[in-house]
Amino acid sequence: MLSLAAAVTAWAPSPNATTHGRALISHEFLRSGTFCMGGNLAPVAYLLGCQRCGTNSLYEDIVGSIKGARRGHALRGEPEFYEREQHYFAKGSQTDSWGQGVAHYIDHFPSCPSPHGNYQFVIDATPAYLRKPIVADRMREVLPGAALPKLKFVVILRDPTHRLYAYWDAFVLKGTGANNFDRWLDATMSSVHECQKKHGDELWPPPDTNACDEDTIEGVAAGLYAHQLNYWFKKFEPKQFLITSTTAYEEDTQKVVKDVSEFLTGTSALDAPARHPSNIDSIKVFEFMGHEAKSKLGKFYQPHNSQLLHVLNNEQKVTYSPSVKGLGIQLWSS
């Protein structure tokens, strides 16, 4: 076995990395498997999303129940939710987290533990990661090559019809003129169809053109999980992914969290029982959706849900909790 000193290497970012303010930084895998960068724990686990699917609750179960899980923390001036979701890989301007560099990102996590201790890990639970192709590309750009095959990705999926309504309820409802879901949906789907006329049926990733309202298209395209997962499976090995669903997580919380624990740490034994995801109620707003809107979205998403089932049924190396059938995809929008 290599000595700890031999396991510590200097990581040099790609040539264009200096434009993002990144500097030379060390990284190490301790004997326990704990991964550190620049003297801090660094994520090898990512909860990619989807957004408005129960990621906050699942994160709390991971850090509250799974052995070795450590919380991150928000830095001065940041909102509290930056303790769980750092958004580092998702944004693009020079004034956001990406522009502040990887050392700033790593500052969100605790100090590296003793090299003789048990396995510890931190998790970046930014729910927008799944739907943004730039995230996978940036991970491969900035993370040390030795870390890439050791990364673990947890994905929680939800009926995209319910996800879109919860997205509207959280992010659109307070906007001017957007306080009626049916009217908002009519305008949104009109924009989607116009975009498809000009750029074809594919909506993910959203076309980078002034002819399409990217924010509007992205809100709808966030539910096109098959396209997103296929992209991630090309960037990382399918065996690096665990996929569950909001339904499965609600119906058997202990089972899902134990499966996540075994996937991340090699053991299903929990430090504490997983709690019932009571705070998931904040995303359970779909009962207020009208029948016509639900039917319209169901017809739109149905072929995409079928495509998702096809992808998952043919991807045997992914870990599913509890199973592909147990995700409940066949009942979505029914």
Higher local confidence (pLDDT), 293 or 209: 293
Looking at 16-20, 30-34, 117-121, 264-268, which range is the least confident one? 16-20
- In-domain check, residue 232: no
Task: Give me the pLDDT at residue 93, please.
Answer: 44
d(CA 135, CA 156): 17
Higher local confidence (pLDDT), 278 or 172: 172
- In-domain check, residue 51: yes
Whether residue 221 has pLDDT greater than 90? yes
Residue among 245, 231, 224, 228 nearest 157 (CA)? 245
**Tokens found for residue 23:** 């500097």
- In-domain check, residue 254: yes
Task: Give me the pLDDT at residue 66, please.
Answer: 98
Contact residues for 209 (Cβ-Cβ < 8 A; gap 6+): 198, 199
pLDDT digits (tens, 9 = 90+) for 57-112: 999 999 999 999 999 999 999 999 999 999 999 965 444 788 889 999 999 999 99
Task: Give me the pLDDT at residue 275, please.
Answer: 85
- In-domain check, residue 327: yes
pLDDT digits (tens, 9 = 90+) for 10-51: 444 433 332 343 346 899 999 999 999 999 999 999 999 999
d(CA 279, CA 127): 16
pTM higher than the cut 0.85 = yes
- In-domain check, residue 41: yes
Contact residues for 151 (Cβ-Cβ < 8 A; gap 6+): 44, 45, 46, 139, 143, 236, 240
In the chain, the number of structural domains is 1
Helix (H) or strand (E) holding 225: helix 225-235
Q: What is the domain extent for residue 318?
A: 4-171+237-331
pLDDT digits (tens, 9 = 90+) for 191-220: 999 999 988 889 998 887 777 888 889 999
Whether 86 and 97 have beta carbons less than 8 Å apart is answered as yes
| Phi, psi for residue 72 in degrees, rounded to 5 | -85, -175
- In-domain check, residue 197: no
d(CA 303, CA 314): 17
Domain CATH for 26: 3.40.50.300
- In-domain check, residue 145: yes
d(CA 280, CA 34): 30
Task: Give me the pLDDT at residue 17, please.
Answer: 36
- In-domain check, residue 224: no
